[in-house]
Amino acid sequence: MDPLTTAAASGIRARLEALDMLANNIANASAPGFKADRDYFGQYMAAEAADSPAGTNPVISPVVEHQWTDFAQGSLAPTGNSFDIALSGKGFFVANSPGGPLFTRDGSLKLSPQGVLQTLDGYPIQGQDGKPIVLDAGKPVEILLDGTVRQDGQDISQLAIVDFKNPAALAKRGNNYFGVDVSTSPPIPTNQAEVHQGSIEAANAQPAESAVRLVNVLRQFETLQKALNIGTDMNKRVLDDVARIPQ
């Protein structure tokens, strides 16, 4: 494959990956606690570059080296719902799923029929003692800045809020949950975050920014597609000329 076609094809593949990422950011722009994905590009020399003829330039291919999650703070949006809580600062709530602990910034909570404080997906929210938080559904709930949960002026429990030395180890598990291998990246209790009752954290993906980037990606894709067509046409002409029988 000639250098033009190789570079254009590699660029198209990288733009398709970026397009998927941006589409996901836009789709989750209204999801509480959602953290946007970003891409990191690298350039690599083609494997056949070592055999390139003297005086020619080796093929440099752009690729998406990896995607990373932007854990920047989202804005806090008041809801007036006492079971909506938002974190200001670094940290995650802990939800006990059937497959193990999950970590989230989405503080949209509810009470189960048994009075267990849980996520909207039904996963119990963990207290600092590692146990679910059980409340009286008939009494108002007060949640303090440090995560203390109170009813009738009595401390019932305290929300477990954890952080990680290397947040990059966290992997998205869907529905704004993150998972991690706790044997290699154990969660660490933190007091660096405040809990705000009656609010939720908005997604840190800005729809306007994502839309602008999406337009740029589409324009780049069109340009690369034209380059690929030019390369294909040039190769076809070369083959036609080589195959032509001299008269």
For position 214, what pLDDT does the model report?
78
Does position 47 have pLDDT exceeding 60, yes or no? Answer: no
Check whether residue 95 and residue 57 sit in a common domain.
no
Does position 141 have pLDDT exceeding 90, yes or no? Answer: yes
Does position 205 have pLDDT exceeding 50, yes or no? Answer: yes
> How many angstroms separate the first and last alpha carbons of the chain?
30
Check whether residue 25 and residue 66 sit in a common domain.
yes
DSSP secondary structure of 129-146:
TSSB-B--TTS--EE-TT
Check whether residue 165 and residue 223 sit in a common domain.
no
- Rounded Cα distance between 64 and 77, Å, is 34
- Rounded Cα distance between 69 and 130, Å, is 27
pLDDT band at 229 (very low <50, low <70, confident <90, very high): confident
- Rounded Cα distance between 181 and 68, Å, is 17
Q: Between these two residues, 210 and 139, which has the higher pLDDT value?
A: 139
- Give the type of residue at 227: A
pLDDT band at 13 (very low <50, low <70, confident <90, very high): confident
Tokens of 150: 């109170």
For position 167, what pLDDT does the model report?
92
Check whether residue 171 and residue 228 sit in a common domain.
no
Average pLDDT, the chain: 85
Q: Between these two residues, 12 and 44, which has the higher pLDDT value?
A: 12
- Rounded Cα distance between 70 and 113, Å, is 36
Q: Are 4 and 11 in contact (CB under 8 A)?
A: no
DSSP secondary structure of 166-230:
-GGG-EEEETTEEE--TTTS--EE--S-EEEETEEEPPS--HHHHHHHHHHHHHHHHHHHHHHHH
Check whether residue 88 and residue 13 sit in a common domain.
no
Q: Tell me the residue range of the domain where 234 lies.
A: 3-71+205-243
Q: Between these two residues, 229 and 159, which has the higher pLDDT value?
A: 159
Distance of CA 195 to the CA centre of its chain: 22
SS (H, E, C) 83-133: CEEEEECCCEEEEEECCEEEEECCCEEEECCCCEEEECCCCEEEECCCCEC
Check whether residue 169 and residue 122 sit in a common domain.
yes
pLDDT in tens, 232-245: 777 677 666 665 65
- Quick one: which of 200, 199, 102 has its CA closest to 160? 102
Check whether residue 112 and residue 192 sit in a common domain.
yes
Q: Between these two residues, 239 and 49, which has the higher pLDDT value?
A: 239
Check whether residue 233 and residue 141 sit in a common domain.
no
Check whether residue 46 and residue 91 sit in a common domain.
no
Does position 104 have pLDDT exceeding 80, yes or no? Answer: yes
Check whether residue 37 and residue 100 sit in a common domain.
no
Q: How many structural domains are present in the chain?
A: 2
For position 59, what pLDDT does the model report?
52
* Average pLDDT estimate for 101-120: 97
Check whether residue 152 and residue 175 sit in a common domain.
yes
Check whether residue 44 and residue 9 sit in a common domain.
yes
Tokens of 41: 């590009």
